[in-house]
């Protein structure tokens, strides 16, 4: 089976030995995988022992990093800036001028940041695109009802063009009314009237909560940097991965059913995020009163500017253009006609979240979405029914995590939309695993290991867990960048 992937993130060369039919295995914790479903047998597959070799940043080629002609690595944002400049877009100097102008513009806004929370001081620019920009402001007021940090997202739209902020705000207000914790919150109480600049362009703004622990990009980069504590031989703790997955399962269920609780009655909406990727998963401070976030951040999905509600739409109306090419599921690809059913549904969200989790676990190594038919292989949903499904993401077979975790991610990445795990079932799985950990290791610091180790000192004794330490800078364990939303 051909592959567009580079070196295996767990050491050694890229796998080329996934067999056509299942091969007996000695280890019951290994996944059974094969490439030719016509020859499937109810046997198990064993993989070679993990190579303890440290994997450097260049061993895990990703969508996050690009190699230039001189051999140097640049980030996705830097590459986009270069491309825009080559295509006649603003130079870096002009982009900096735009950032400076934006951060100094708050006093001139028709609707300024809330007075009871101010005065407000610009902190930094969080991200900048072709028509949009986001910045962070800090308030010095004493009103406890006003957050001390507010993100302002601004969009400049030429005459005749359609803005995305009013569209995004419509969904954000629905989420706020329902009290969703795992979808980013809007802060401005009412819609902000748009303004006009001297060029006749309309300017739209919204205020958003600030997630101060960064994005998935920051977390992934912290696992592949040269001075990272986490390596191929010492990956992120599995408990932490489950906590992250649990948050994203709640976000998926919120979009799917209008609730973050199991078995909720579905609402009359079918929301497609359109562009989930590593930059739109953001996380806020740990220390919440909720047990799920006492030691770990709250992971949230953000950026709903391209979101669509397909409720009641016909099959033809669902043939929509998804926002991020590197996260395009099989049913939206050029080869979608190969599938049994290529209708676009909310299963798109599950697949895209699965790919984010895949890239986090595999330390940024990825796969080519357009070549899913060449990349796919088969495995069992479970061994009792012998029900099988095809999926992508072959590095997951080698990942040093439990079979349950790897299988959950592979089910998110199932090729056929109808074979993907539902948000409700995914939340049930993550909730079940975390409940088991809490019962089995009551005196263990949360995220201290893999859920099967001997009890560790309690959280009170050691003051922080291994998982929480990922998000705290220290002399020997740097935390991820805290740059906030892009």
Each residue of 425-450: pLDDT tens digit? 999 999 999 888 777 665 544 443 32
Average pLDDT (214-240) is 81
**Hey, is 77 helix, strand or coil?**
helix
CB burial class (10 A; 0-12, 13-18, 19+) of residue 481? middle
Closest-CA residue to 297 (of 289, 282, 286): 286
Residue 294 binned pLDDT confidence (cut-offs 50, 70, 90): low
**Hey, is 100 helix, strand or coil?**
helix
Residue 64 pLDDT more than 70? no
pLDDT of residue 172: 95
**Please, what is the average pLDDT of the chain?**
75
Least confident of 23-37, 65-79, 101-115, 377-391: 65-79
Cα–Cα distance measured from residue 150 to residue 484, given in angstroms and rounded to the nearest whole number: 11
User: Looking at the chain, which residues constitute the CATH 1.10.510.10 domain(s)?
Assistant: 6-76+213-486
DSSP state, residue 87? T
Residue 63 pLDDT more than 90? no
Q: What is the pLDDT of residues 451-484, one digit of tens each?
A: 333 333 333 333 334 444 444 433 333 333 333 4
Place of tokens 């005196």: 443
Partnered with residue 299 across adjacent β-strands are 283
Do residues 224 and 55 lie in contact, with contact meaning Cβ atoms separated by under 8 Å?
yes
Q: Which CATH number is 90-209 given?
A: 3.30.200.20
User: Looking at the chain, which residues constitute the CATH 3.30.200.20 domain(s)?
Assistant: 90-209
Average pLDDT (178-199) is 92
**Hey, is 93 helix, strand or coil?**
helix
pLDDT of residue 333: 84
Average pLDDT (53-79) is 45
Average pLDDT (284-289) is 58
Most confident of 145-159, 287-301, 314-328, 380-394: 145-159
Cα–Cα distance measured from residue 143 to residue 194, given in angstroms and rounded to the nearest whole number: 27
pLDDT of residue 47: 27
Least confident of 128-132, 145-149, 404-408: 128-132
Radius of gyration (Cα) for the chain, nearest Å? 23
Residue 281 pLDDT more than 70? yes
Fold for the domain defined by 6-76+213-486: Transferase(Phosphotransferase); domain 1 (1.10.510)
pTM attached to this predicted model: 0.78
The structure tokens listed for 292 are 């799920």
The structure tokens listed for 372 are 């899913």
The structure tokens listed for 45 are 């597959």
Angle (CA) 265-268-271 rounded to 5° is: 105
pLDDT of residue 111: 93
Average pLDDT (273-284) is 77
DSSP for 104-136, written as a single string: T-GGG-SSPSPGGG-SEEEEEEEEE-SSEEEEE
């Amino acid at each position: 089976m051909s592959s567009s992937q580079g070196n295996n993130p767990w050491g050694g060369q890229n796998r080329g030995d996934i067999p056509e039919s299942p091969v007996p295995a000695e280890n019951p914790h290994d996944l059974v995988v094969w490439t030719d479903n016509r020859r499937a047998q109810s046997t198990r597959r064993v993989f070679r022992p993990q190579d303890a070799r440290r994997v450097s940043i260049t061993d895990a080629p990703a969508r996050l990093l690009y190699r230039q002609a001189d051999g140097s690595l640049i980030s996705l944002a830097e590459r986009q800036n270069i491309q825009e400049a080559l295509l006649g877009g603003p130079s870096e100097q002009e982009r900096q001028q735009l950032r400076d102008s934006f951060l100094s513009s708050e006093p001139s806004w028709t609707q300024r940041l809330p007075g009871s929370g101010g005065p407000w001081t610009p902190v930094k620019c969080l991200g900048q695109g072709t028509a949009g920009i986001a910045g962070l402001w800090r308030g010095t007021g004493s009103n406890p009802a006003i957050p001390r940090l507010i993100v302002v997202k601004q969009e400049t739209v030429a005459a005749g063009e359609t803005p995305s902020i009013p569209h995004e705000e419509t969904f954000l207000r629905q989420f706020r009314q329902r009290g969703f914790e795992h979808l980013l919150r809007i802060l401005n109480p009412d819609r902000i009237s748009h303004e006009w600049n001297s060029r006749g362009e309309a300017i739209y703004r919204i205020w958003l909560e600030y997630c101060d622990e960064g994005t998935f990009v920051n977390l992934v980069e912290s696992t592949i940097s040269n001075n990272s504590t986490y390596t191929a031989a010492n990956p992120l703790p599995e408990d932490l991965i489950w906590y992250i997955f649990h948050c994203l399962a709640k976000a998926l269920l919120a979009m799917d059913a209008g609730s973050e609780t199991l078995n909720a009655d579905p609402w009359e909406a079918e929301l497609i995020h359109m562009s989930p990727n590593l930059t739109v998963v953001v996380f806020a401070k740990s220390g919440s009163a909720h047990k799920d976030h006492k030691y770990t951040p709250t992971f949230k999905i953000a950026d709903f500017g391209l979101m669509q509600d397909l409720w009641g739409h016909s099959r033809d109306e669902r043939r929509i253009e998804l926002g991020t090419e590197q996260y395009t599921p099989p049913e939206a690809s050029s080869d979608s006609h190969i599938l049994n059913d290529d209708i676009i549904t909310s299963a798109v969200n599950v697949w895209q979240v699965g790919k984010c989790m895949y890239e986090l676990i595999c330390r940024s190594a990825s796969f080519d979405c357009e070549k899913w038919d060449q990349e796919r292989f088969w495995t069992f949903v479970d061994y009792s029914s012998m029900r099988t499904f095809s999926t992508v993401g072959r590095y997951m077979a080698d990942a040093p995590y439990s079979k349950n975790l790897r299988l959950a991610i592979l089910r998110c990445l199932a090729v056929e939309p109808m074979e993907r795990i539902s948000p409700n079932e995914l939340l049930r799985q993550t909730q079940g695993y975390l409940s088991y950990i809490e019962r089995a290791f009551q005196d263990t610091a949360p995220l201290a290991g893999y859920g099967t180790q001997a009890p560790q000192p309690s959280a009170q004794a050691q003051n922080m867990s291994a998982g929480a330490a990922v998000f705290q800078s220290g002399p020997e364990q740097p935390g991820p960048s805290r740059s906030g939303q892009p």
